[in-house]
Chain A
Amino acid sequence: MIVLGIETSCDETAAAVVAGGVPGPGRILSNVVASQTAEHAPFGGVVPEIAARAHASLVDGVTRQALSDAGVGLDRLSGIAVTAGPGLIGGVVVGLLFAKGLALASGLPLLPVNHLAAHALTVRLTDGVAFPYLLLLISGGHCQLIIVSGPSEYERLGTTIDDAAGEAFDKTAKLLGLGYPGGPRVETAARSGDPFRFSLPRPLLDSPGLDFSFSGLKTAVRRAAELAAPLSDPGVRDLAAAFQLAVTDILVNRTRRAMAAVRGRLGPTPAFVVAGGVAANQALRTALVEAASLEGFSFLAPPPSLCTDNGAMVAWAGLELFAAGQGLGADEQLKVSPRARWPLDMRFAGVPGAKA
């Protein structure tokens, strides 16, 4: 199977061509990402209308590039996968309608993909991991622990009750004047900081359950910064280090708790997977590797370039749906709606506040 994947749900316009079969690994024949980071940087965050405009002008060129890099024409494809949500609706509409046009004109199946499923399934593209596995999804919009049992089967064990992990990094970076995008800037600053000079809380850590909370941490960072004002450069680095350590502690604590709770359901060699842009953080990754080994889980994470938004993960998720016979009929696929919200675990559909 060869599938084209198109991604426009946030601030990357991306397209890729992926070949292979389940359970993977697959082969990435091309992977084009046009990042809009520079357009949004002056606003300290993603501006939805700026993003949607950029997607509308870039989506065809990026797709053409992905096909030509792969040396593949539309006639060689098994299907066209596209992110249909969750995400910024203006961008999702652009990618989805562009893909509908391509599918209608070429007669190919359209494979509408959940963006989070694409993140969740990326380790099958890279490593061919078998279902089921435990996933920690830590991205700009999400922080969840999930059991992944199939391309459309997800059981959410826990989620953030306020900010997403990446959001916490981004807000902290803004607060510390480190700029945008926040995650990598905080990580760089933290590398030469003393994580123990400031003491920050670890919200929810003593509570039962598997949910996360980061907003209290963000408030504590602000308060610490105000108390120490004016914050010197070393002060900024120390506070960044303290923040990163607190996030790491929270994520490790919840993850280990989840591992203990579900180990018996994941077979003799349980696998733990992290995905999403925050998984690019090396300090966090190191801590999660250790946690996995302490709990007897194997550790898998896609390379950083496949952790942030890209078309290859969308193509792969589409390929999984296609292989599982979960594609749509020709009539149905033209009517598919873009979705700002689309929980992986359908038990949470329609729950207020649940982005996903």
Chain B
Amino acid sequence: MIPSTLAIDSAFGALSVAVASARGTMSRIRADGRAAEDLGPMVRDILAEAGLHGHRPERVAVTLGPGGFTSLRAGLALAKGLAMGWGVPLLGFTTLFALAADARREATENKPIAAAIDAKRGEVFVAIFGPDLGVLVAPLVTPVQDLAVALRARVAIESIQTIAGTGAGMVVEALRPFGLTAQVCAPGEAGLALPLVNLAAKADPAAFPANAVYLRPADARPMAPTQ
């Protein structure tokens, strides 16, 4: 029997939570929610609905980014507090991993899945996973025009079957000249917590530590003492 698991995502605007347990899997999403105010009540509500034994899951999973710095930290901090309060393991997954897990629903062949997020400023966050979601190219950020160079050495571009995420269009455009034929996968309606929750229930906690993934250095402008 899988351990009952709560998954949380707040990395980009939309908030989602999901619970997997012996009674099944359920999820909730809010497109317009504010992480600091709304994520806590969403967790409380889904736990109440899920009717878990002792009203607590046996593990917690959270997305680590890349994403909005403040919003991804909101989810991560809440998850850390919940895991400590319940005394259960916390597992962290990149948003790119969660996108790939989501895309795998639609994958028909045993071929690599790319996940890409528009990182603005002409850049893209990207990672490539095997059909088992093992990492082929670890999450990185790169200018779109350097994408082919960044990826070609590590994966056969024509082998990629599916591309998911807000950066998928950018990747298709940049890699088509290099033989890319992959399908763009539309995002699931349920948000990123749902594709994570069953994976997290089965994963080894030691392999998924919960450290934020920013992929970009902090904007180092001092706020004080200069104003």
Q: Does B56 contact A (CB under 8 A)?
A: yes
Q: Does A226 contact B (CB under 8 A)?
A: no
Assembly CA distance A25 to B141 (angstroms): 53
Give the chain A neighbours of B177 by CB distance below 8 A.
none
Q: Does B149 contact A (CB under 8 A)?
A: no
Q: Does B40 contact A (CB under 8 A)?
A: yes
Q: Does A195 contact B (CB under 8 A)?
A: no
Give the chain B neighbours of A93 by CB distance below 8 A.
35-36, 70, 73-74, 77
In chain B between 184 and 214, which residues have their CB closer than 8 angstroms to a CB of chain A?
211-212, 214
Give the chain B neighbours of A106 by CB distance below 8 A.
85
Q: How far is the CB of B9 from chain A (nearest CB, A)?
A: 14
Q: Does A24 contact B (CB under 8 A)?
A: no
Q: How far is the CB of B206 from chain A (nearest CB, A)?
A: 17
Which of A48, A59, A89, A171 is within 8 Å of B226, CB to CB? A171
Which of B35, B56, B79, B225 is within 8 Å of A171, CB to CB? B225
Docked-complex contact B212 and A57, CB < 8 angstroms: yes
Q: Does A104 contact B (CB under 8 A)?
A: yes
Q: How far is the CB of A167 from chain B (nearest CB, A)?
A: 5
Docked-complex contact A337 and B43, CB < 8 angstroms: no
Count of chain A residues near B, Cβ 8 A: 49
Could you say which of B128-136, B162-170, B216-224 contacts chain A? B216-224
Q: Does B103 contact A (CB under 8 A)?
A: no
Docked-complex contact A49 and B40, CB < 8 angstroms: no
Q: Does B37 contact A (CB under 8 A)?
A: yes
Q: Does A182 contact B (CB under 8 A)?
A: yes
Docked-complex contact B219 and A96, CB < 8 angstroms: no
Which of B41, B78, B80, B85 is within 8 Å of A335, CB to CB? B41
The interface bits of chain A over 328-348 (1 if a CB of B lies within 8 angstroms of the residue's CB, else 0) are 000100111110000000000
Nearest residue in B to A106 (C-beta to C-beta)?
A: B85
Q: Does B69 contact A (CB under 8 A)?
A: yes
The interface bits of chain B over 42-55 (1 if a CB of A lies within 8 angstroms of the residue's CB, else 0) are 01100000000000
Give the chain B neighbours of A335 by CB distance below 8 A.
37-38, 40-41
Docked-complex contact B214 and A101, CB < 8 angstroms: no
Which of B76, B82, B214, B226 is within 8 Å of A105, CB to CB? B82
Q: How far is the CB of B138 from chain A (nearest CB, A)?
A: 19
Assembly CA distance A89 to B74 (angstroms): 11
Which of B39, B212, B223 is within 8 Å of A48, CB to CB? B223
Docked-complex contact B41 and A49, CB < 8 angstroms: no
Which of B77, B220, B225, B227 is within 8 Å of A56, CB to CB? B77
Docked-complex contact B84 and A95, CB < 8 angstroms: no
Q: How far is the CB of A343 from chain B (nearest CB, A)?
A: 18
Docked-complex contact B220 and A49, CB < 8 angstroms: yes
Give the chain B neighbours of A289 by CB distance below 8 A.
none
Q: Does B81 contact A (CB under 8 A)?
A: yes
Assembly CA distance A156 to B159 (angstroms): 67
Docked-complex contact B225 and A44, CB < 8 angstroms: yes
Give the chain A neighbours of B83 by CB distance below 8 A.
101, 105
Q: Does A310 contact B (CB under 8 A)?
A: no
Give the chain A neighbours of B70 by CB distance below 8 A.
52, 89-90, 93
Q: Does A109 contact B (CB under 8 A)?
A: no
Q: Does B178 contact A (CB under 8 A)?
A: no
Which of A53, A60, A337 is within 8 Å of B212, CB to CB? A53
Question: Number of residue pairs across A and B with beta carbons under 8 Å?
Answer: 140
In chain A between 161 and 206, which residues have their CB closer than 8 angstroms to a CB of chain B?
163, 167, 170-171, 174, 182
Nearest residue in B to A39 (C-beta to C-beta)?
A: B218
Q: Does A47 contact B (CB under 8 A)?
A: yes
Docked-complex contact A97 and B224, CB < 8 angstroms: no
Give the chain A neighbours of B38 by CB distance below 8 A.
335
Which of B39, B79, B84 is within 8 Å of A63, CB to CB? B84
Q: How far is the CB of A257 from chain B (nearest CB, A)?
A: 27
**Quick one: which of A52, A97, A174 has the most chain B CB within 10 A?**
A97
Assembly CA distance A82 to B79 (angstroms): 16
Which of B41, B211, B222 is within 8 Å of A334, CB to CB? B41
**Quick one: which of A46, A48, A103, A182 has the most chain B CB within 10 A?**
A48
Docked-complex contact A95 and B77, CB < 8 angstroms: yes
Docked-complex contact A56 and B212, CB < 8 angstroms: yes
Which of A45, A56, A182 is within 8 Å of B76, CB to CB? A56
**Quick one: which of B43, B73, B219 has the most chain A CB within 10 A?**
B73
Docked-complex contact A53 and B218, CB < 8 angstroms: yes
Q: Does A299 contact B (CB under 8 A)?
A: no
Q: Can you name 13 A-B pairs with beta carbons within 8 Å?
A: A44-B226, A50-B220, A53-B73, A63-B84, A74-B85, A100-B81, A102-B82, A104-B82, A170-B225, A171-B225, A182-B225, A334-B44, A335-B38
20 new A-B pairs (CB below 8 Å) besides A44-B225, A44-B226, A100-B81? A40-B222, A46-B224, A47-B219, A49-B69, A49-B220, A50-B220, A52-B70, A52-B73, A57-B212, A59-B77, A64-B84, A89-B70, A98-B78, A101-B40, A101-B77, A101-B82, A103-B85, A105-B86, A171-B226, A334-B41
